[in-house]
A = this chain, B = another copy of it.
Amino acid sequence: MDIHWDDYRAVLAVVRRRTLSAAAQELGVNYTTVARRIARAEAATGEVLFERLTDGYRPTEAAHLVAAYAARMESAEHAMLRGLSGRDARLEGQLTLTAPQLLIAHVLAPALGDFAQRHPAVSLQVRAANEILDLNRREADIAIRISRNPGDTLKGLRLTQQHSACFATPEWATRMQQDPNAPVDWLLYEKQPNLPDGVDNIYPNSRIHMRFDDMVAMAGAAQSGLGVVRMPVFLGRSLRGLVQVPVLSPQPYADIWIVAHSDVWPSARLVAFRDIMVPFFKQKRPLFTA
């Protein structure tokens, strides 16, 4: 058996990324190295794994087979790393947190500072991602998420419930209070593409003014007076220049969870992190609810 397991990994990377260069970037090596590993893998398996095209490597059926099993090997590796991480009793090294940008900026920051101060040997890496990172693949060790349930293979604690409400500049608020028939411009978030329930009844002249794929941008727009936004109350209350608009009562919003893969959940670093976050959110609860 004269094949390196890392050669399988190269096949997997090229099947995924379709070019040597992209695969090389993924693997953190030079692309010529990837080319050579592919060549070795082909020699060892006795199969042609890729068609060399001018715009990339096109995987053959055999390469897909190899890649499928290499992916299994990779997920075994991830499971191993999670297992090692989970039984790690040291309060040192790295800890990667992912959380929504705005939650970090407006709520979490002091708690993170507290954690860093209490555990100076742990270097905290914060990934303020809009997308959901894959905790299986250890893109982060732990996540704070706004969602209805913690996730599938993940373990989680509910940090707090939340309400949402509608916010805008004081001018909008006054206008809406004085004349429900005045036109109301709404700013909508991509992921919640409809007007809040009941708005049409109370403000019949509502219109959808803009749609955003980004909360920060949308909040900025609201602050500039472009319209009314439904958002979690913690956010509306934290943003300078916004007030809650009347009439529409706050509604339940997705809860805030702290989640991690069950394998890494017991690690000392995560225990320490939760020990700070849970009381922190308990104390901050009024900020999140109406």
Asked whether any CB of chain B lies closer than 8 Å to the CB of A76, the reply is: yes
Number of residues in A with C-beta < 8 Å to the partner? 30
Number of copies: 2
Q: Quick check: B84 and A5 within 8 Å, CB to CB?
A: no
Q: How far is the CA of A175 from the CA of B73 in the complex (A)?
A: 65
Asked whether any CB of chain B lies closer than 8 Å to the CB of A198, the reply is: no
Contact A77 to B84, CB < 8 A, known contacts A5-B9, A28-B1: no
- A5 is contacted by which of B72, B77, B87, B93 (Cβ under 8 Å)? B77
A261 to chain B, nearest CB (A): 14
A37 to chain B, nearest CB (A): 12
Residue-wise interface mask of A (1-18) relative to B, using a CB-CB cutoff of 8 A (1 in contact, 0 not): 110111011000000000
Asked whether any CB of chain B lies closer than 8 Å to the CB of A43, the reply is: no
- For chain A residues 49-100, which have a beta carbon within 8 Å of chain B? 61-62, 65-66, 68-70, 72-73, 76-77, 79-81, 83-84, 87-88, 93
Asked whether any CB of chain B lies closer than 8 Å to the CB of A47, the reply is: yes
Asked whether any CB of chain B lies closer than 8 Å to the CB of A45, the reply is: yes
Apart from the given pairs A8-B80, A70-B76, 12 other A-B contacts in the complex at a CB distance below 8 Å: A4-B5, A5-B5, A5-B8, A5-B73, A8-B77, A45-B81, A46-B84, A66-B80, A69-B77, A69-B83, A72-B73, A72-B76
